[in-house]
Amino acid sequence: MKMPRKQCDELGCPNISKSGGKCSRHAGRKKCNEPGCPNFAKSGGKCFTHGGKICNESGCSNFVNSGGKCSRHAGIKKCNELGCPNFAKSGGKCASHGGGARCIEPGCPNSAQDKTNKCRVHGGGKRCNEHGCPNFARDKTGKCKAHGGDKRCPNCITWPDSRCGSIVYDGYCATCFKQLFPTDERSKVIYTHTKEIRVRNAINDAFEGFIHDKPLYTGQCNCTHRRRIDHRKLIGATLLCIETDEFGHSGYDPKDEELRYDDLYMIHSGKWVFIRFNPDGKGVDMVDKLDRLMQEIQTQIERIENDENNELLEIIKLYY
């Protein structure tokens, strides 16, 4: 028979105690022994910053995850789909390839959220704690982005496509900071998406009807959670979308990438075909990459017009 786990002895704290009768938050875990450092110790009595273990791959400065290596160097198992760089969940695959718990609604390909057994489209995940708000809570704030969750930029927080603020830009997103403070030294080095613009020009030259970088508005809906699509065109009941993933979105959170699909599905419940285009993949000239992208767009248009796309969501990756 299992003994009940002891709670933290701090008054009113519901957390489980670690050592010394207290939870991690109330100092049950040993702190780093560097004077004045508030971080928890990892190995040798120090936190990562003051001497935690570094990945044993030559030249790598990342901290160890497991097996002596960081996440990038296989401390976490990668998805077993050929060529996929994402980390595996259960079943040896990443969320995009079917790993992890899936939504229990019949025919739904999305991942179950948090500790629920449904995706966000079908009611899973945490909701905003503002009274009557049906939107999803962001991070640990308990609020949706319209109500200030996820540390939104104060300039665009009320916009349908608001962005996260950044400490680097005094709490503003990079786009708003560049517009509001154009003479600031930091504004001079903010990237302006030149590759996406080059893709846009190529698409506009080759095709008609594509909409670039605008939120999807539909009738009788709350549009506060909208996310932009780089390029989109509605063909019948299918939205064909082209995303310019600079550097393969290597710095993006895979979970947030998947939640993005769920958000978009709430706007358009028909079929989706995404072409994810990495303009920075090595070994191929940009002109040749754009030619290949135009060919793929034409192929998908013909498939959609012939009603050959049978899945709710298809993702085609180029130069990953």
CA distance linking residue 318 with residue 276, whole number of Å? 6
- Identity of the highest mean pLDDT range in 121-125, 148-152, 248-252: 121-125
- Highest-confidence range of 138-142, 254-258, 313-317, by mean pLDDT? 313-317
pTM over 0.85: no
How do residues 204-259 score in pLDDT, each as one tens digit? Answer: 999 999 998 877 665 555 544 456 788 999 999 999 999 988 766 555 555 666 66
Mean pLDDT of 131-149: 71
Owner of token pair 């709490």: 171
Cα–Cα nearest to 259, from 136, 146, 99: 136
DSSP summary character for residue 167: G
Q: Tell me which of 3.30.460, 3.40.1350, 3.40.50, 3.40.1000 is the CATH number of domain 194-318.
A: 3.40.1350
Q: What residue ranges do the domains of the chain occupy?
A: 7-76, 78-115, 126-190, 194-318
Per-residue pLDDT band for 146 (boundaries 50, 70, 90) equals low
Q: What does the H/E/C string look like for the chain? A: CCCCCCECCCCCCCCECCCCCCCCCCCCCCECCCCCCCCECCECCECCCCCCCECCCCCCCCECCECCECHHHHHCCECCCCCCCCECCHHHCCHHHCCCCECCCCCCCCECCCCCCCCCCCCCCCECCCCCCCCECCCCCCCCHHHCCCCECCCCCCCCCCCECCHHHCCCCHHHHHHHCCCCHHHHHCCCCHHHHHHHHHHHHHCCCCEEEECCCCCCCCHHHCCCEEEEEEECCEEEEEEECHHHHCCCCHHHHHHHHHHHHHHCCCEEEEEEECCCCCCCCHHHHHHHHHHHHHHHHHHHHCCCCCCCEEEEEECC
So what's the pLDDT on residue 61?
62
For the chain, the maximum distance between any two Cα atoms, rounded to a whole number of angstroms, is 71
| Overall average pLDDT of the 12-17 stretch | 68
Averaged pLDDT for residues 52-76: 66
Task: Please tell me the distance from the alpha carbon of residue 234 to that of residue 107, in angstroms, as a whole number.
Answer: 22
Residue 26 pLDDT: 63
pLDDT value for 72? 62
Selection from 300, 242, 307, 302 nearest residue 270 by Cα: 307
Task: Note the pLDDT of residue 1.
Answer: 44
Residue 212, helix vs strand vs coil: strand
Query: What is the model's pLDDT at position 208?
Result: 92
User: Is 103 or 30 the better-scoring residue by pLDDT?
Assistant: 103
